[in-house]
Structure 1
């Protein structure tokens, strides 16, 4: 039994988009030169690159949901150039420089596509803030400053008073601003990337694959109403890669949650008093991510859950409790906006590994994957998907060499029930330790 995403229908980013006609569903028997499974950032990049490198080939891109409904459309809208948190701790400076170069290549690629195809997704080069609330957060900021100095990357100190003019709240003591990150509307970007694929890519939405087997030199993907046969299969399925018996017991499914407001009215904007279109991540990684969107919505993101059954692990009651917690976080920062309601609360599942290692490469004869983004899916998914297509097609480049050097095998997890107990305990400990930064 393959467990499917089972995402809720309350993602604010997706619900804010205008309705769009659904793509075809998988029906009958299909044959393709290449099949890409999963239409998130990684899968979209795989399909696009395959189509460019082999324009005469037939390429199928299959997703269990609508494009933009899954994890890639559910993040907080950051495209981060810097190595992410734990990767910044890597002892080898060359390793970090390779990650930085790969992420920036992804940003450049996405920038070109947004401009070329006029994708309306609030794409903006505004950098990001990393903010501290109190002493614990400031200690993390001090450490981040040392890491940035060692990396040779530019940054700016932002004091509490100056920061309040941007954020519209004096809740934070100070921040470090880094200029290389971008902000966007993730569901709009993912949908736009899907709508602008080359003509030799055929998309099937709402087409879950229930089984995978090898027969007669082809991989056979069985859906609800159809079957696909292909010699080459690329998995852009992240955590769901384990549902096909690959990287099993190596990936951890974690869901993080966000809530946002309706767009602020003019009078509310005056009381808010800050700027539009900025993003702040917490200095303490278990703290709160905060955003003001270009269309006047305030977004709160925190809370992590271990979700062995993905969306089916989350109940309506649990989601309501998360929204209540987010509400307290919101009011602590914006007490003058008590009448502004949350309109959506949603979760998105992603894969992490115990050794914080991304997988990239071949899993089986004719099966390839980029999996386990460890929470930085937009940039990493884009560049790893692009380079995986290069790898499959036998291309070569410095970037391909780099990504093979900075990836590896995610470490094995302990068996259940020890795994679940350990992950839940670690999440609870991090929440308690970071309570002053929430």
Structure 2
């Protein structure tokens, strides 16, 4: 098998930079034998490792992470754990399927909340809800459609106008928004680090230990790392887009990166814009390609927009300056009185999409299971699917597992290169142009 493309850290993740320096990484060296090998210590891998360790307390579990926990994709999102089905899932006419999605997402929120409380994880966890905002006519069209979908689903919400939003968001930039109450906000790098530090005792975590090759022979999985090897009876993949490097769901993933910028801490005077307590919020755009905005409990503003297709899972650092300028323009449009407030970090985070908007959950080989391609909702979907992946692999039965299998499918096969890259890039440019008024 050819050498895999390995994850790397660009030292730009603003969330991770806020954390204290961790203890030195425990790296795998030599040969280890285990009952269970979990690859990837993001939301999916952490949940899978925890669950299989609890279900099989007398068996050994090894969890491999290519970076430090929190440096990868799970520590780079904007800090939402959303209970509602994501955009196109919410548009599905199958109400029973939407109810399954909602129930699973709500379980993810509840499970994470319980772990945060039980292990005293300091990650700014708050069931603060979220706003879905519209800037102009295009956004309003999407917002009105979103409202109809919520009504059809019987999901409670509140619609707010510009005057009601101003003391919350600190800006009159938004003409309207819809508030839903059951989304959790958090500091993602802090959350995944806390989850990794509270794993059951039969889980052994090795960081800075990327898997260079993965093979199967003589009824075992063999994972080669830079300094050693793991021989495992069972394999659980929480490596998402990197999983295709090992031959799983190859040519069925669309690695896409979204970008965010974070300000320095706002002063007391600057915080007077936000007169309604609590002084933190999360807003997602009504238009899919618009701008996400967060005000953190630490008094930092974050804007996220712009997408890039990243077939090698990493962004072009030379383009980061242009992306940052785009964030500056979006920020200044919303907060002109804060135009002097600098960004302290700009980073990208990769997620897995598929052409038919289908996530994967299930068996991918002999004694091998995978959950991935989460369509940009990895915090909730990754958490619950990782937990249920362990149930599937250990032969459990539950209504939640049945629901997860029912809502999952097979991602569509991609066209060959260079057609794929050209087509995806053109479509993203078209979407950005059409949504420019909402950026």
Interval of TM-score (by shorter of Structure 1 and Structure 2): over 0.9
1:303 aligns with 2:306: yes
Determine which of 272, 287, 292 is the counterpart of 1:289: 292
TM-fit CA distance, 1:273: 4.8
Cα offset, 1:271, TM superposition: 4.9
Residue in 1 aligned with 2:372?
371
Alignment partner of 2:131: what SS?
A: strand
Q: Which residue does 1:426 correspond to in 2?
A: 427
Q: 1:175 aligns with which of 131, 155, 177?
A: 177
Aligned residue number for residue 30 of structure 1: 32
Structure 2 stretches of 5 or more lacking a match? none
Per-residue Cα deviation, 1:184-203 (whole angstroms, up to 9, x for no partner): 00000000000000000000
Map residues 375-390 of structure 1 onto 2, 5 A cutoff.
375-390=376-391
Query: For the Cα contact (< 8 Å) 1:271–1:337, is it kept in 2?
Result: no
For the pair 1:220 / 2:222, whether they are aligned, the reply is: yes
Contact 1:88/1:147 (<8 A) preserved: yes
CA distance in 2, matches of 1:352, 1:274: 37
Partner residue in 2 for 1:115: 117
Unaligned runs of 5+ in 1: none
CA shift digits 1:19-59 (9 cap, x unpaired): 11033101000000000000000000000001100110000
8 A contact 2:7–2:210 mirrored in 1: no
Residue aligned with 2:177, SS: strand
Deviations 1:232-287 (A, max 9, x none): 00000111111111100100000000001011011221256565210000000000
| Equivalent position SS for 1:82 | coil
Aligned match of 1:252:
254
Matched, 1:410 2:414: no
User: Aligned residue for 1:331?
Assistant: 332
User: Does residue 280 of the first structure (1) align with residue 283 of the second (2)?
Assistant: yes
Find out whether 1:348 has 2:344 as its counterpart: no
1:268–1:337 Cα contact (<8 Å) kept: yes
CA distance in 2, matches of 1:111, 1:243: 33
Q: Does 1:45 align with 2:47?
A: yes
CA distance in 2, matches of 1:389, 1:56: 15
Task: Give the match's secondary structure for 2:104.
Answer: helix
TM-score w.r.t. length of structure 1: 0.98
Alpha-carbon distance between aligned partners in 2 of 1:310 and 1:7, rounded to the nearest angstrom: 11
Question: Can you list the C-alpha shifts for 1:148-170, whole angstroms capped at 9, x where unaligned?
Answer: 01111001010101101100000
Q: Are 1:401 and 2:402 an aligned pair?
A: yes
**Root-mean-square deviation over aligned CA pairs:** 0.9
Deviation, 1:426, is 0.6
Structure 2: distance between partners of 1:406 and 1:214: 29
SS of match in other structure, 1:61: strand
Q: CA deviation at 1:320?
A: 1.1
Match of 2:107 in 1: 105
- Distance (Å, rounded) in 2 between the aligned partners of 1:267 and 1:147: 40
For residue 212 of structure 2, give the secondary structure of its aligned residue in structure 1.
strand
The Cα of 1:212 is off from its aligned counterpart by 0.9
Match of 1:266 in 2: 268
TM-superposed CA distance for 1:120, in Å, is: 0.4
1:383-423 superposed Cα distances (whole Å, 9 cap, x missing partner): 00000000001110000000000001001011111100110
Tell me the distance in 1 between the aligned counterparts of 2:191 and 2:414: 34
Q: In 2, Cα distance between the equivalents of 1:324 and 1:187?
A: 25
Report the equivalent of 2:212. Answer: 210
Q: What displacement does 1:91 show?
A: 1.6
What SS is found at the alignment partner of 2:216?
strand
- Find the aligned partners of 1:330 and 1:123 in 2 and give their Cα distance: 25
2:240 corresponding residue in structure 1 = 238
- After TM superposition, where is structure 1 displaced by more than 4 Å over at least 4 residues in a row? 271-275
| 2:78 alignment counterpart | 76
CA contact (8 A) 1:74 1:187 kept: yes
1:357 and 2:358 equivalent?
yes
Structure 2 CA distance for aligned equivalents of residues 17 and 80 of structure 1: 23
1:266 match: secondary structure: coil
* Number of residue-to-residue matches in the alignment: 436
| C-alpha distance in structure 1 between counterparts of 2:374 and 2:125, whole Å | 21
Give the whole-Å Cα distance in 2 for the aligned partners of 1:337 and 1:91.
43
- The separation in 2 between residues aligned to 1:166 and 1:267, in whole angstroms, is 16
Q: Which moved more, 1:201-210 or 1:4-13?
A: 4-13
Q: TM-score, normalised by structure 2?
A: 0.98
